[in-house]
Amino acid sequence: MLRILSYNIRFGGVGRERPLAAAIRKAAPDLVVFQEATRPGVVARLAKDTGMTSWASTPTHSVAYMSRLDVARNAWHRPRASRRAFLEIVLTGPRLRVFGLHLSAVHSNWTERLRMRELKSMLADIEGRSDGPHVVVGDFNTLAPGETLDLDRLPFRLQILAWLGGRSIRWRTIQTMLDADYVDGFRLLHPGGEGHTFPSWDPHLRLDYVFVPAAAAERLRRCEVLNGVEVVAASDHFPVLAEQVL
């Protein structure tokens, strides 16, 4: 069983290394995929404080990782149509691939179209690399079909941006994943659950996801949002923990 933690640590995690490490230790993951991890020194300290044996981070990319398992290789890939790179992590042994994503932010129809373009270009690249079992995790910065956005709970500046882009936002990015024959891990295991991951002090949005190919959905045994009191001070996102049969 492989335990994967997806975690947006906000602004590089600077100054919050201790609560972040405490949250990660409590989750006891084998592999952590970070978003907003642009401070390699923070990731190095978190790896040391949580007993991880390998890590990779760079100031030029949001996505980073650390692992207690052997990693055969890792690489950032930036498709031509994407503003951001995704991270490919190849574990040794079962040769499982984990892809970490962080799509563009802000809730509006314009940015939703941007996220769709980013995701489609990433999926085309992933398809050429995922010749076996794989998992796609990260902060997609968007809502799943059927989920709702309460604009009144957004900061005022974000309310204005949402209004300018059309108050009724068509959430299509996650549908793109589903149409590509992926399964939303949390929704698969918790059909009626909320799973809110953002913001940690007033959780009402599910922005962080774990996706597995539909053909291998039975391998996913757990997908939980870790929303305990101890993680509120660590970041503005709650982490998501998944367990996958190797």
Burial class (CB in 10 A: 0-12, 13-18, 19+), 213: middle
What does the angle CA 79 – CA 82 – CA 83 come to, to the nearest 5 degrees? 125
- Judge residue 219's burial from the number of C-beta atoms within 10 Å of its C-beta, 0-12 exposed, 13-18 middle, 19 or more buried: middle
Tokens of 141: 């910065």
Question: CB under 8 Å, gap of 24 or more: what pairs does 74-80 form?
Answer: 77/122, 77/125, 77/129, 79/121, 79/122, 79/124, 79/125, 80/121
pLDDT of 220 reads 96
Integer Cα distance of 16 and 25 in angstroms = 14
From the CB of residue 156, how many other CB atoms can be counted at a distance below 10 Å? 7
47-78 pLDDT tens trace: 999 999 999 999 999 999 999 999 999 999 99
Give the separation between CA 56 and CA 66, rounded to whole angstroms: 7
CA distance 97 to 81: 22
How do residues 82-127 score in pLDDT, each as one tens digit?
889 999 999 997 778 999 999 998 878 888 999 999 999 999 999 9
C-alpha to C-alpha distance for 219 and 244, rounded to whole angstroms: 5
* CB-based contact 44:76 (threshold 8 Å): no
Listed residue (232, 3, 207) closest to 115, CA to CA: 207
What local confidence, expressed as pLDDT, does residue 181 receive?
Answer: 96
pLDDT recorded at residue 183: 98
H or E stretch covering 163: helix 156-164
Residue 110: the pLDDT is 84
pLDDT at residue 229, as a whole number = 82
Would you tell me how many other CB atoms lie within 10 Å of the CB of residue 244? 25
Cα gap 199→27, rounded to integer Å: 19
What are 64's strand-pairing partners? 34
* Mean pLDDT estimate for the chain: 92
In this model, does residue 214 exceed pLDDT 90?
Answer: yes
> Can you list the positions of beta strands (E) in 31-159?
31-35, 54-56, 64-67, 71-77, 86-91, 97-102, 134-139
Summarised one tens digit per residue, pLDDT across range 122-141 is 999 999 887 778 999 999 99
Domain count, the chain: 1
Which residues form the domain of 231? 2-244
Q: What is the pLDDT of residue 24?
A: 97
25-32 mean pLDDT: 97
State the CATH number of the domain containing residue 221.
3.60.10.10
**Predicted confidence band of residue 154 (pLDDT cuts 50, 70, 90):** low
Q: Pick from 138, 7, 150, 142: which is nearest to 84 by CA?
A: 138
